[in-house]
Amino acid sequence: MTGPAANRRIRNRADIKALEAATADGFLPVASTWELLARGRDLFGDRPAFRFLETGMPGGPAVEITHADLFARVTQAANLFTDLGVGPDDAVAMLAPNIPEAHFALWGGSAAGRACLVNNLLNTDHIVELVEAAGAKVLVALGSDPALDIWRKALDVCDRARGLNAVLSIGGAQDGADDFASAIAGYPADRLTSGRAIGRDDIASCFHTGGTTGAPKLALHSHGNQVHVAWSASQMFHIRPDDMAINGFPLFHVAGSMVFGLSLLAGGAGLLLPTRLGVRHPEVIARYWDHVAEHRVSFLSAVPTLLAALLSQPYPEADISCVRRMVIGGSPLPTEMADAFEETYGIPVRNAFGMTESAGIITIEPYLAPARVRGSCGLPLPHTEVIAAALGPDGADVSKPVPPGETGVIAVHGPNVSPGYTDRKRNAGTFTEDGWLISGDLGHLDENGYVYVTGRSKDVIIRGAHNIDPAMVEEIVNRHPAVEMSAAVGQPDAYAGELPVVYIALKAGAAATEEEILAFVAPLIAERPAVPKRVHILPDLPQTALGKVFKPALRLQSIERVFGEALAPLREDGVTVSVAGEQSAAGLSARIELGGDAPEDAAERVKTLLRGFPVDYEVAFAG
């Protein structure tokens, strides 16, 4: 099958509907990711699939891998893994940055069995849990690297994880582990020696999700999930074989592997991989536009925090006329920031929205659309249904979609929806029996089918009985000329339950006081309960590994501040009080430690002073 959707021009909802009608009997060109890479070998063989920068400086050494090379190395890796005992129900675990060898292991693991990409920043205990939960028989890890503490963890995991029977090192043999590149070299590069015929329903990989605490939570991706996302996105992004795209995202995240990985490879594009540190490399950001000009990058990808960093830099002297578009994923795109980027650089900005449980993508703003729809994250992928579901006492009700323009919980049904978690008990509340994925994101659809994501349902600030969408507050705060980024969260309150507060990072060189910003914002917010109680300016907002604002850390700051203020009477009586916010699988809580001349009734006084606050806490005495 050659792919009936190839080279479709997707500009709007009507084009998607026409494509769906024309491809009702067969949308995807292949059944598996391995076949998709084989197609790339046949159509784009000598074109670059990867260009890996060994240093962050422009003009530095680069390693190039063609689409033909990629398929060959992936196939050799799959055959090695088969030889090491990996079958369709077994996994190949990976601890590695976004480098070519990691892609060989990822897609080779999917062809032999399942791939399980693990965040190397997690603690070893959690990595062991994930590796065991995935059923991994082989671990592929980056060898010793002074900038990345991966190999030490890998050795620890091998000692502790049950079921592992082999470990391979990227970058040279060491500590008894074979070199990955040398190990695959002797295997056939044109066929799977297992003779496996991979079906669309076969599991390709499992990605961990749900944060860094609590029991392992691994979302499964079928080959059909991943091919559907990659093929659809390549059409909606309007990928061309002459495109070169920067992909500095971690490979363990769907942004690095799927959204800006396989999706671009499916269209024949090349990926510029900027060092082992990706966009966390300081020279990569400082010389970003020089890299763009040198490698004639046409496709930029970022999260809002990276967009903000680029806007804070002087306009580049380098020739960046090669750039065709910027695509934002990972978190909602502030409209003011997108406007500023387009006005500054003349580069169209498009948004994409997805999650791990949807193989990375649910909606995309088509590149060929006449213009960006302000505030929207685009249209659903072909053959994908998206609704805003009513939120009831038991959660989102997919049988009750709300009308256009009304806020609900975004839910999706289609070929990109994961089969569920490895632990089926975790499916409740996220996957329905009839195939719906409940995203947990608040948002709405407009009359043209565009989807708007305004926040997380768990991020809703509940002031008394009033639900406050934090995105509405953030949008107004971001209008202040000194504000680079903002994050609104709920601060615990003994009377109202929560009060809205906003944390802010200022633009480089900008100056403003918290009082000035609050005075600017308050008259612009129509809902009086949504006016922030406080504004807090920080040097930087806490971020995840992907560059998203990490709101739990801000909530913990709010708990510590408010509890500290509420317990001031104890300090006045000579009691030493410390408050530490804590995050666990059960949620956010606080640990209160009392010292000094704490009287016997100090714990009871804490209980009295904190009465009404909707936060769990424990009291301990120092010494």
Q: For 507-552, give the secondary structure using H, E and C.
A: CCCCCCCHHHHHHHHHHHCCCHHHCCCEEEEECCCCECCCCCECHH
The contacts of residue 85 (CB under 8 Å, 6+ apart) are 137, 138, 165
Q: Any alpha helices (H) in 258-303, and if so which ranges?
A: 263-266, 282-286, 288-294
Per-residue confidence band for 330, with pLDDT thresholds at 50, 70 and 90:
low
Q: What's the pLDDT score for residue 498? A: 85
Say whether pLDDT at 567 is over 60.
yes
CA atoms of 52 and 253, how far apart (whole Å): 19
* Per-residue model confidence as pLDDT tens digits over 32-70: 999 999 999 999 999 999 999 999 999 999 999 999 999
Q: What's the pLDDT score for residue 587? A: 61
Closest to 520 (Cα-Cα) out of 486, 561, 497: 486
Residue 149 or 154, more confident: 154
Say whether pLDDT at 154 is over 90.
yes
Name the one residue in this structure whose structure tokens are 């409740």.
428
Quick one: residue 20, left, alpha or beta (phi over 0 = left, psi -120 to 50 = alpha)? alpha
Count H helices and E strands in the chain, helices first.
Answer: 19, 30
Q: What's the pLDDT score for residue 456? A: 67
CA atoms of 349 and 527, how far apart (whole Å): 30
Say whether pLDDT at 465 is over 60.
no
Closest to 151 (Cα-Cα) out of 139, 143, 161, 159: 143
Say whether pLDDT at 548 is over 70.
yes
The predicted model gives 118-146 an average pLDDT of 92
Closest to 253 (Cα-Cα) out of 547, 20, 557: 547
Name the one residue in this structure whose structure tokens are 């709920």.
490
In 458-506, where do the E strands start and end? Answer: 461-463, 466-468, 483-493, 497-506
Q: What's the pLDDT score for residue 26? A: 86
Per-residue confidence band for 216, with pLDDT thresholds at 50, 70 and 90:
low
Edge to edge, what strands does the sheet with 616-621 contain?
Answer: 575-584, 587-596, 616-621
Residue 6 three-state SS:
coil
Letter string b/e over residues 319-333, b meaning 16 or more CB atoms within 10 A of that residue's CB: ebeebbbbbbbbbbb
Q: What's the pLDDT score for residue 1? A: 33
Q: What's the pLDDT score for residue 331? A: 61
Q: Cβ atoms within 10 A of the Cβ of 276, count? A: 22
The DSSP symbol for 314 reads P
CA atoms of 131 and 117, how far apart (whole Å): 9
Taking CA atoms, 66 is separated from 49, 234, 271, in Å, by: 5, 18, 10
Cβ atoms of 204 and 110 within 8 Å: the answer is yes
CA 518 to centroid of chain Cα atoms: 31
Over pLDDT 70: what percentage of the chain?
Answer: 95
In 147-298, where do the E strands start and end? Answer: 166-170, 178-179, 203-208, 218-222, 244-246, 270-274
Say whether pLDDT at 258 is over 90.
yes
CA atoms of 208 and 545, how far apart (whole Å): 14
CA 615 to centroid of chain Cα atoms: 28
Say whether pLDDT at 182 is over 50.
yes
The DSSP symbol for 255 reads I
* 592-597, long-range: CB < 8 A, 24+ apart: 592/563, 592/567, 592/617, 592/618, 592/619, 592/620, 593/619, 593/620, 593/621, 593/622, 594/570, 594/619, 594/620, 594/621, 594/622, 595/621, 595/622, 595/623, 597/573
| Residue 356: both structure tokens together | 């791990």
CA atoms of 349 and 502, how far apart (whole Å): 26
The predicted model gives 117-128 an average pLDDT of 88
Closest to 449 (Cα-Cα) out of 513, 504, 385: 385
The predicted model gives 102-122 an average pLDDT of 95
CA atoms of 49 and 261, how far apart (whole Å): 10
Cβ atoms of 291 and 245 within 8 Å: the answer is no
| Residue 93: both structure tokens together | 């675990």
CA 220 to centroid of chain Cα atoms: 16
Give the range among 2-11, 67-76, 242-251 with minimum mean pLDDT: 2-11
Q: What's the pLDDT score for residue 360? A: 94
Give the range among 55-59, 389-393, 423-427 with minimum mean pLDDT: 389-393
Q: What's the pLDDT score for residue 213? A: 38
The predicted model gives 12-34 an average pLDDT of 93
Say whether pLDDT at 596 is over 80.
no
Taking CA atoms, 71 is separated from 42, 268, 474, in Å, by: 10, 13, 45
CA atoms of 256 and 258, how far apart (whole Å): 6
Give the range among 126-140, 510-524, 542-556 with minimum mean pLDDT: 542-556
Tell me the range of 212-221, 482-491, 579-588 where mean pLDDT is highest: 482-491
Closest to 207 (Cα-Cα) out of 244, 155, 262, 143: 262
The predicted model gives 165-175 an average pLDDT of 95
Say whether pLDDT at 418 is over 50.
yes
Say whether pLDDT at 7 is over 50.
yes
Per-residue confidence band for 96, with pLDDT thresholds at 50, 70 and 90:
very high
pTM of the predicted model as reported, rounded to 2 decimal places:
0.79
The predicted model gives 342-366 an average pLDDT of 94
Give the range among 43-57, 116-130, 144-158, 201-215 with minimum mean pLDDT: 201-215
The predicted model gives 145-173 an average pLDDT of 94
CA atoms of 354 and 367, how far apart (whole Å): 17
Helix axes of 124-134 and 151-160: crossing angle, nearest 10 degrees: 60
Per-residue confidence band for 125, with pLDDT thresholds at 50, 70 and 90:
confident
Residues 204, 235, 441, 500: is their CA dihedral positive or negative? positive
Name the one residue in this structure whose structure tokens are 């809580």.
589
The predicted model gives 386-409 an average pLDDT of 90
Residue 614 or 106, more confident: 106
Helix (H) or strand (E) holding 395: strand 395-401
